[in-house]
Amino acid sequence: MIKTDICVIGAGSAGLSIAAGAVQMGADTVLVESGRMGGDCLNYGCVPSKALLTAGKAARHWKKAKDFGVDYQTPQIDFQAVHDHVKGVIADIEPHDSVERFEELGVRVVQAKGEFLDPKTLKVGEETVQARRFIISTGSRAMVPPIKGIDRVSYLTNESVFDLTDLPKKLIVVGGGPIGCELGQAFHNLGSQVTIVEMATIMPKDDTDLVEVVRSRLQADGLAIMENTKVLSASQNTNGIVLRVEEDGVEKELKGSHLLLAAGRAPNVENLNLEAAGIDYERQGIVVDKRLRTSNKKIYAAGDVTGGYQFTHMAAYDAGIIIRNALFRLPAKVSYNAVPWVTYTDPELAQVGLSENDATKTGQEYRVLTWAYADNDRARAERRTEGKVKVIVSKKGKILGASIVGLQAGELILPWCLALSKGLKIGDVANVIAPYPTLSEVSKRVAGSYYTESLFSDRVKMIVRFLSKFG
């Protein structure tokens, strides 16, 4: 029997943050993990996908080089070397998330599956753990959609796609969300023929106006995007994968060498025996309150397993809320009014707060401010003028949300996150001195546009003419 203050189940982003924070603050801490330390983000998600995207961008640069007076030959892709690059990036980060590091911090790491025996006891391998507080952070996995015949087909998910050492010749991606669009573009840039199949529209949680910029770029580059398309069945023969789909009421066949499923996520709640612990859960994940407590108030849940925002940065945010509650007994509650997310396609698309779609649904009065990358001198110098900033403000100028599509949108969204979290008004951003020439000027310019109509009105002109009479 292991008795401890804190027992964390799952060594992904949320679990590692909680374990590291708890033990360094003096709590006796046990960390349970049956798989790989670092969880989905390090091994199958954020890290490898961005490494692959970077390789794809490097392969694509030659196509734009002529715009700058530079000409060189079509690059040769060594996909084994691309694979090694991706795995090398993971290996570089692994020591930070390793068993050895956490044991050096003072965490007791138990590498086995955990299963609740009762509301205060967890069976872990051949041992049992009793803790004052448990935290479940077991994450999520790729959902396998209910496609006829899918169980008889060889398919890839984000957990297996980064193990490929040969470039897919013809890749079919089922799912047009961030994962599908990012990986689809990465493989296309590296030389695959890619088709993205989406039952609704791609990137449905983002501003439709800005998504169109991404869609146009993907299609212009040669990716095939099939939206509002239902997958009827999947089969496999000696030549590869065959999908039967229905697009606009017409059935057709898609043939590919590889199939990637990127049609959503499912929480990892199986085999935990949550019922024995008195923990309520649904298909979307474990049910938690604003303090991230489950129906068993001594057990918390964090990250993807709760079915909320499935981002690494939100897992880290959840960790902070739980530490304040579990260690310091502070009634800290989550607030999701300033949650940012980024889709790392090229161009990137970033969002925080309300989009225009969201604002319309609220029924409140608002203004939409926009500023085009084409009006930014640095974007012109980079020859990357596709894109825009869109900011939603209240009638009195309070910032309600911001969306950016374009070069480095993920970097440019941060000041808007700060503005939302601090309840700033649009004038606070408009009055910032921005360095020239930078892409960050787009934020200052779009904020300044709030005042354009009033500054150059007939009333202001009349005041200026009146005051000029006094010398």
* Contact between residue 16 and residue 97 where contact means Cβ atoms under 8 Å apart: yes
Alpha-carbon span 141 to 265, nearest angstrom: 5
pLDDT at 464: 82
pTM for the model: 0.94
For the chain, which domains are there? 2-142+266-326 (3.50.50.60), 150-199+225-265 (3.50.50.60), 340-455 (3.30.390.30)
Confidence of residue 465 (pLDDT cuts 50, 70, 90): confident
pLDDT at 469: 84
**Which residue shows structure tokens 């009793």?**
130
* Contact between residue 82 and residue 54 where contact means Cβ atoms under 8 Å apart: no
> How does the average pLDDT of the chain come out, rounded?
95
Alpha-carbon span 115 to 161, nearest angstrom: 30
Q: Taking the CA atoms of the chain, what radius of gyration do you get in angstroms?
A: 25
456 has pLDDT over 80 = no
73 has pLDDT over 90 = no
- Least-confidence region, from 144-153, 359-368, 454-463: 454-463
350 has pLDDT over 90 = yes
Tell me phi and psi for residue 399, to 5 degrees: -75, 125
380 has pLDDT over 80 = yes
Strand 127-136 and strand 299-301: the pairing is parallel
The DSSP secondary structure of 409-437, one letter per residue, reads HHHHTHHHHHHHHTT-BHHHHHTS---TT
Cα torsion 53, 384, 211, 445: sign: positive
pLDDT at 193: 98
pLDDT at 105: 97
Q: What is the mean pLDDT of residues 399-414?
A: 98
CB neighbours of residue 321 within 10 Å: 20
Q: Convert the pLDDT of each residue in 106-153 to its tens digit.
A: 999 999 999 999 999 999 999 999 999 999 999 999 999 999 999 999
Q: Convert the pLDDT of each residue in 284-328 to its tens digit.
A: 999 999 999 999 999 999 999 999 999 999 999 999 999 999 999
